[in-house]
């Protein structure tokens, strides 16, 4: 799998996250079966603007510093419960079969 294919795979995965669900960087990498969280983050930094980027968050449930509050606002408008600047992954974590 070359880089272009990898980029496409990441973007497709993110597009498939339904409203109301949230995935971690690691989830995306695992789903693709290639690379790791840092690679996914690198792709998001470069191409994230073209997909629902706000549905991808750190495993801790806290947004990446770069996006911060903007991400929390968008998630809340998706109907995701936010408590203390934090997403409850327990409740909303993406399941690829959706």
Single out the residue of 17, 22, 53, 87 in contact with DNA (rule: CB under 7 A).
53
Burial class (CB in 10 A: 0-12, 13-18, 19+), 54: buried
Interacting stretch for DNA, rule CB under 7 A, among 50-58, 72-80, 90-98? Answer: 50-58
Binding mask 7-46 for DNA (x = CB under 7 A): -----------------xxx--------xxxxxxxx-xx-
Q: How far, in Å, CA of 14 to CA of 85, rounded? A: 22
Query: CA torsion sign, 40 to 44 to 79 to 15?
Result: negative
DSSP summary character for residue 93: B
**Which residues of this chain interact with DNA, rule CB under 7 A?**
3, 6, 24-26, 35-42, 44-45, 48-49, 53, 56, 58-60, 64-67, 71
């Amino acid at each position: 799998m070359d880089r272009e294919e990898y980029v496409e795979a990441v973007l497709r995965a993110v597009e498939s996250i339904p409203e109301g669900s949230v995935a971690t960087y690691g989830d995306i990498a695992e789903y693709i079966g290639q690379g790791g969280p840092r690679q996914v983050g690198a792709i998001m930094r470069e191409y994230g603007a073209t997909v629902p980027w706000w549905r991808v968050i750190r495993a801790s449930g806290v947004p990446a510093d770069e996006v911060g509050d903007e991400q929390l606002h968008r998630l809340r408008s998706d109907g995701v419960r936010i408590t203390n600047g934090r997403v409850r992954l327990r409740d909303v974590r993406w399941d690829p079969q959706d």
